[in-house]
Amino acid sequence: MSTAMNFGSKSFQPRPPDKGSFPLDHFGECKKFKERFMKCLRDNDFESSQCRKQSKEYLECRMERRLMAPESLAKLGFGDLEAGKPGTGD
């Protein structure tokens, strides 16, 4: 009986993960951004709307380091926080 998944064959081609799944940050490349986001959540009773800037920075870090597929910030819900747009809060 043959196996359905033969990883030893040259015909196996890995594919990127589906949207919503992504590689873990094994080397801690975005750890400081994650920690800032988590601290913000704790400081604001886990009200995520208060931590949008930190969330955006964390996602940007993941995209820059190819830990998730690049996506426009507007599609991720951060269109109002994009550089040069009014209402950045900085």
pLDDT tens digits along 18-73: 665 667 888 999 999 999 999 999 999 999 999 999 999 999 999 999 998 899 99
- 19 in any annotated domain: no
- 63 in any annotated domain: yes
Question: Per 3-state DSSP, what percentage of the chain is helix, strand, and coil (rounded to 5)?
Answer: 35, 0, 65
- 11 in any annotated domain: no
The whole domain housing 60 covers 31-81
- 49 in any annotated domain: yes
Residue for token pair 């886990």: 46
- 48 in any annotated domain: yes
- 62 in any annotated domain: yes
- Count up the domains in the chain and report the number: 1
Tell me if the pTM is above 0.75.
no
- 4 in any annotated domain: no
